[in-house]
Amino acid sequence: MATGLNQQLWASADILRGKMDASEYKNYLLGLIFYKYLSDAQLREVYEQENGKTDTFPERSTQYAGFMEWYEEDKDDLIENIQPKQGYFIQPDHLFYHYRIKADNYEFNLTDLQAGFNELERQGEEFSGLFADIDLNSTKLGSNAQQRNVTITEVLRALDEIDLFEHNGDVIGDAYEYLIGMFAAGAGKKAGEFYTPQAVSRIMSEITSIGQESRAPFHIYDPAMGSGSLMLNIRRYLINPNQVHYHGQELNTTTFNLARMNLILHGVDKERMNLNNGDTLDADWPSEEPYQFDSVVMNPPYSAKWSAADKFLSDPRFERFGKLAPKSKADFAFLLHGFYHLKESGTMGIVLPHGVLFRGAAEGTIRQALLEMGAIDAVIGLPANIFFGTSIPTTVIILKKNRSRRDVLFIDASQDFEKQKNQNVLLDEHIDKIVSTYKKREDIERYAHVASFDEIQENDFNLNIPRYVDTFEEEEPVDLVAVNTNLLKVNEELVQQDQTLLSLINDFSESEENQALIESMRLLLRGGHDE
């Protein structure tokens, strides 16, 4: 993504920064960027229907003029041509570019923007409630209507400078995820809960797609989807990226709406989007076909609390394991939920804190059961401080069903990163090394080890990575003979230097003033070598 785009996004944020915290102003900016994208995409669609497909577009003023000309000539014909293709139609007075013209002429009014939001939300289930978190009447935007109007006017003008379609449109998703990442970094844990760094997304997406690259349609599921970016990465590694179906659930309504926007921004149509706003652990979802998926990916909240009620002992997601994840740590509850929804031929990747690898009691029982059935395929240790909002090191656990073997590949990638400001970052070379090691499944000194089931059993089913990958580097042994020889040589040099200095002192003319000083220097030099 171009540096200029980053700068313009932050210029927009600067208008709201100070008025409210990042967890609030992100809702305004991301919602407005989403609305701008839909609006500008409509202008482009109209232009192409009039002039044919093109890789280059004229200024938006020209696009807008063509749109208005068609609209004034035959409004119904325009809507009939555009709405089925786009899935929506934005009236001329509600186009983002029209708001910009009004803003430049100091004629913009917040009620017009709210009307645009309301109209779009009525145009289909996929748009319903998307702008609920944008409160245009909030006193944080200004103490009165005029001040609020000025604030949003400035934001509109700043955002409208961004060309969301540069780089052939790839910048759209980049801009969206860049904003989420930056807001998460600035707002700490609360904002970071819905954002998985791209590097981690890439690792999980590439690994879970191995052997399934040509599958179509391809169904991916994220039961704690956050912004949805973890699911979207899978497209990079599939032969038919336009035949991916996205199934996701998210508890937080605001974040659920962000995920919906994100998928729409990435061109996912409503037929391939199956999203639910609900509690993944409390009530199983989805319960109707399809309820098992080719790939399951997840970055759930770490060590979250859940009810662990007795009723879950008869829940098909958990009953075969005989124990429930503890109330204070729902990590294994999320893992088992995802594993239940994995196809027999699929692959699952989940990010969790290291505690799941070695904690005992109920978690130890569940872990042992998974290992005995051969479900745990690999354990990948990631560096500390790569997630927003937490500095703890994490692990990616890869799971499969119906494996013929029960060995586990351990990869210790905890030392491979580049330090950048307050975060550690996985570079392409680090990601490629992890994926390549996973594919080869071979021992690499101080980096990877394939542990047999017997070896794991001998370790009481403890999966703590240092038990299997020894990263300790011994220091070079000290050559004591060489050290002693060097000390003798140094002492000889000191004696020679002292003798030279003593000779110079003896040649120094004595007087009543310096006699005491000269004698003390002689005693000092002789005293150092009396022994």
Looking at residue 150, its amino acid is V
261-265, 390-394, 522-526: least confident range:
522-526
pLDDT score, position 1: 44
Residues 6+ apart with CB under 8 A from 395: 351, 352, 353, 354, 356, 357, 379, 380, 381, 382, 465
Confidence of residue 422 (pLDDT cuts 50, 70, 90): confident
Q: What is the pTM of this model?
A: 0.83
Residue 175: pLDDT band with limits 50, 70, 90: low
Q: In sequence order, which ranges of 18-144 are alpha helices (DSSP H)?
A: 22-51, 60-73, 75-86, 96-104, 110-121
The pLDDT value recorded for residue 481 is: 79
Whole-angstrom distance, CA of residue 259 vs CA of residue 266: 11
289-298, 427-436, 462-471, 513-522: which has the minimum mean pLDDT? Answer: 513-522
Q: Residue 192 is encoded by which pair of tokens? A: 């970071």
Q: Which of 389-403, 431-445, 454-468 has the lowest mean pLDDT?
A: 389-403
Q: How sure is the predictor about 115, in pLDDT bands with cuts at 50, 70 and 90?
A: very high
Average pLDDT over residues 80-94: 94
What residues does 297 pair with on adjacent strands?
Answer: 349
Query: If we measure between CA atoms, which residue out of 445, 352, 363, 448 comes closest to residue 407?
Result: 448
What average pLDDT does the segment 189-202 reach? 70
- Identify the sign of the CA torsion 247, 248, 253, 255: negative
165 has pLDDT over 90: no
Q: What are phi and psi of 138, to 5 degrees?
A: -65, 135
| In contact, 415 and 383? CB cutoff 8 Å | yes
- Please, which pLDDT band fits residue 223 given cuts at 50, 70 and 90? very high
SS3 274: strand
Judge contact between 120 and 126, C-beta under 8 A. Answer: no
Q: Which residues contact 164 (CB under 8 A, 6 or more apart)?
A: 33, 36, 37, 40, 171, 172, 175
